[in-house]
Amino acid sequence: MIKVLVVEDSPAVREFLVHLFGSDPGIKVVGTANDGEQALDAVRRHRPDVITMDIHMPRMDGLDATRRIMETYPTPIVIVSGSTDPREVATTFRAMEAGAVAVLRRPAGIGHPDHEATAGELIRTVKLMSEVKVIKRWPKGQRRAEVPRTAAANPVLVEARVKVIAIGASTGGPPVLQTILAALPRDLPTPVLIVQHMAAGFTQGFVQWLAQTSSLPVHLAAHDEPVRPGHVYVAPDEFQMRVERSGKIVLTKDAPENGLRPSVSYLLRSVTEVYGSDAIAGLLTGMGHDGVEELRQLKDKGAITFAQDKDSSVVHGMPGEAIKRDAATLVLPPEKIAATLANLAKNHM
């Protein structure tokens, strides 16, 4: 039985979420809270397995509550947001910086055509997140530097030619991508292509949030857009994204791959065809195996590939599978990924 704490200031929404979780025999709502202060008290008393967190609340909002919980009683936190306004969503992603593991739209109401699908997604996410091992958060100055583990000799890296960087991420990916992009130099000579698995409606806000800390321009990718050096392109909701030999981005409504659209596999396959050994590509924290086989194919072509290390991953599914299948040239924490990407790209100049 998964113990859930529901934190939500609206009585109607709170009752709706309690009813929703109560309909699943594997979930038990052990408490509710109207604001962040009540949430902290409820976490101490009930020790839930998962917390669903509203952001906009009186007294203490969801962002501060997430920070405090992760510093005192680390618990998987799923942000449940009623807004997809890009500006508000960009604020919501700050809760992921603080340690939240997922962001989802509030499910549609009973009787709405999307109710079943959105309610099912929330229940599945809560169940999956209950298995995530989260760690206590410390002030940045107290975090220990991690030593990268590499599986390639330095001469290989020096000789690498780089024309594109492609990255795939899922659960826990947004703050890792933020760390990487914030550390890349303004004069990066290559474009960066990103597929981040995310609930529909949040990607535009995600792009705006990333842009706040990156010296590189961050775009929501557009169909037929030229790929330019030093620019970051994020795949939009419900589109597959690929690159073509003409140097342009193509967005399609092709079928989902690995149940996903956008799919990392779809992007990496085109990167393999167009760039081959002149690419750097990698997989960050996330569930499943999207992009793993294609990453291995890129490595076989001579490209430099990387996977996020286990210690820094919220979920070591995608990168863990890449390591198991010998698809990763390098295994690195986020801070080292950024430095490595910048160095490899500059070696091409």
Residue 290 among the catalytic residues:
yes
Q: Which of 49, 197, 263, 278 is catalytic?
A: 197
Residue 170 among the catalytic residues:
yes
Q: Give residue for tokens 């169940």.
A: 127
Q: In this structure, how many other beta carbons lie within 10 angstroms of the beta carbon of residue 34?
A: 17
Task: List the Cα angle 86/78/93 in 5-degree steps.
Answer: 30
User: Residue 109 has which token pair?
Assistant: 């109401």
Tell me how far the alpha carbon of residue 192 is from its chain's centroid.
Answer: 16
Tell me how far the alpha carbon of residue 146 is from its chain's centroid.
Answer: 21
Q: How far apart are CA 142 and CA 152, in angstroms?
A: 30
Residue 215 among the catalytic residues:
no
Q: Which of 54, 290, 312, 316 is catalytic?
A: 290
DSSP state of 257: B
Select from 42, 14, 33 the least CA-distant residue to 106: 14
Q: Which of 35, 61, 130, 170 is catalytic?
A: 170
Cα distances (Å, whole numbers) of residue 243 to 160, 162, 201, 310: 21, 15, 23, 30
Annotated catalytic sites, by residue?
Answer: 170, 197, 290
